[in-house]
Structure 1
Amino acid sequence: MEKLRALGLEYPAPALPELVETAARDDLSPLAFLDLLLTGHLAREDERRVATMLKLSALPPGKTLEDFDWGFQPKAGRPQIEVLSTCQYLRDNTIVLFHGPPGVGQSHLSAALGVQAIKNGFSVAHFVLDDLMHVVKADAATPPARLRARRYFNCALLIIDELGFRPLDHIEVNLFLRRVSTRCERGSMLLTSHKHVRDWPEIFAGDEILTTAILDRLLHHVAVVHIDG
């Protein structure tokens, strides 16, 4: 068992007696036993990876597709969500936009898709818009080369929740436009908003020109999930 640990195979070491018993009971060949041992090790490593990535993502806990009450919110578009859960939109660098009135489950579903992304090997960063703007403003003078270390910059999926709960000022809108432009070149985003896009000038300081510039970037390659109340 010490040799297994020396090889970095932490899982099989304590489980080895049980694995040997299983192999003897099922009359496994040496290759089949090795496959059983390595399968268990890889499963444990993946559990550790997912746990670490969930912690780094800042996703709210307990928000999974399995926990979502589809009976309570039958208009949530389950077939569309199930397609998104395959994470093909991440491979295609597609933007996902949830919109609908407050309380319909947008935040839960966006977080749940973040969990699915991590399970599929993608890095995720989750922000409520206010928190993101706080970080972005602090980084306003940071050189682009140093921004590459920021999770909102280098993650595969950036989730921005609660877009529109408060209006942004002009400085924030310009910073948001800059970050959105960069993100659209690097990877996917998932946004939630209780406001229809036609009302987005209300979010972005009443500036229709900047709002149009933001929408041009976000809606270029977008999947819209509309949830009725």
Structure 2
Amino acid sequence: MKNLEGLHARAKALRLHGLLAHWSEAVAEPALAKAGAWVEQMLDWEEQERARRSLERRLQDAHIGRFKAVCDFDWTWPKRCDRATFEALMSLDFLKDATNAVLVGPNGVGKTTLARNLAHQALIHGHTVLFTNAGQLLGDLAALDSDSALRRRLRYYAAPALLLIDEVGYLSYSNRHADLLFELISRRYEQKSTVVTTNRPFAEWRDVFPNAACVVSMVDRLMHNAEIVAIDGESYRVKEARERAEQRAKQRRGGK
């Protein structure tokens, strides 16, 4: 009977109202054990299919894109990389506290790859995620003419449990862009976790948002209790391009 109570609770959680309405028939004697096994199998299928469809939907909505799995990441390439801090982030404990994370380092050292792995990890553990780059995010918000449309779009970016903003610092932005980013970060502050990748230390963010009065407050909210993953080294893309060029040159020499 205890097992049937557990099955009934699962059916209720899945809102299988038809099954619940005929519950006594579904588990009726004399074939109670057989009926119970059938109901359990059906609940397993329903839970698995709903979990699959939920993950598929959240993956689509997250816009992570293609990425190299962290198991293939070359940790020996950067001159400096706080691997322990990143692996702690992959446990997703920071989401429980609604704290932030910042991945900082020069171009091509793997910040975006690591951020996408973090996004994927959150997704497969049932969290809502949105991945965007700073230019797309701020361009999207700044293009809105009406206050109501802007409020709706801010709610869209503020809603996910994890928001990842890639490539802050690669372009310079106006005061309006700075105000919009500050508004978004403020809405998420101590409510939801935000991850930022940047090629600029926070001391240089005034160059990213020149003359913006909100930069100090923006950085303060991002940095409060945030985990910082510092990466330093030569661009991995440059390394790969150099290796491909060397390989092609070697093949050409071999073909002569």
Aligned length, in residue pairs = 202
| Deviation for aligned residue 1:142 | 2.8
3-state SS of 1:122 partner: coil
Going from structure 1 to structure 2, the CA distance change for 1:75 and 1:206 (only over 3 Å counts) comes to same
1:174 corresponds, among 176, 179, 187, to 179
In structure 2, the residue matched to 1:90 is 95
d(CA) in 2 for partners of 1:66 and 1:178?
Answer: 36
d(CA) in 1 for partners of 2:75 and 2:228?
Answer: 19
| Deviation for aligned residue 1:147 | 2.1
Q: Which amino acid aligns with 1:227?
A: I
Q: Which amino acid aligns with 2:136?
A: D
**Which residues of structure 2 form unaligned runs of 5+?**
1-15, 18-32, 234-256
In structure 2, the residue matched to 1:162 is 167
In structure 2, the residue matched to 1:121 is 126
1:210 corresponds, among 206, 209, 214, to 214
3-state SS of 1:97 partner: strand
| Deviation for aligned residue 1:104 | 0.9
* TM-score, normalised via structure 2 length: 0.69
2:220 paired with 1:219: no
2:60 paired with 1:55: yes
| Deviation for aligned residue 1:98 | 0.6
**Aligned residues: CA RMSD:** 2.7
d(CA) in 1 for partners of 2:214 and 2:48?
Answer: 47
Q: Which amino acid aligns with 1:210?
A: C
Deviation string for 1:137-185 (max 9, x for gaps)?
1346333995278431211111100000011111211222122211215
* TM-score, normalised via structure 1 length: 0.77
Q: Which amino acid aligns with 1:58?
A: H
Deviation string for 1:77-126 (max 9, x for gaps)?
33222211121111101010110111111001111101111111111111
- Among the aligned pairs, what percent are the same residue? 28
Query: Counterparts of 1:1-229 in structure 2 under 5 Å?
Result: 30=34, 38-39=43-44, 41-73=46-78, 75-139=80-144, 141-143=146-148, 147=152, 150-207=155-212, 209-229=213-233
| Deviation for aligned residue 1:135 | 1.6
**Which residues of structure 1 form unaligned runs of 5+?**
1-6, 9-28
d(CA) in 1 for partners of 2:186 and 2:154?
Answer: 17
d(CA) in 1 for partners of 2:98 and 2:43?
Answer: 34
d(CA) in 2 for partners of 1:75 and 1:38?
Answer: 49
Going from structure 1 to structure 2, the CA distance change for 1:173 and 1:145 (only over 3 Å counts) comes to closer
Going from structure 1 to structure 2, the CA distance change for 1:227 and 1:212 (only over 3 Å counts) comes to same
3-state SS of 1:143 partner: helix
Q: Which has the larger radius of gyration?
A: 2
Q: Which amino acid aligns with 2:196?
A: L
CA contact under 8 A between 1:168 and 1:203: conserved in structure 2? Answer: yes
Deviation string for 1:23-46 (max 9, x for gaps)?
xxxxxx856776566445533432
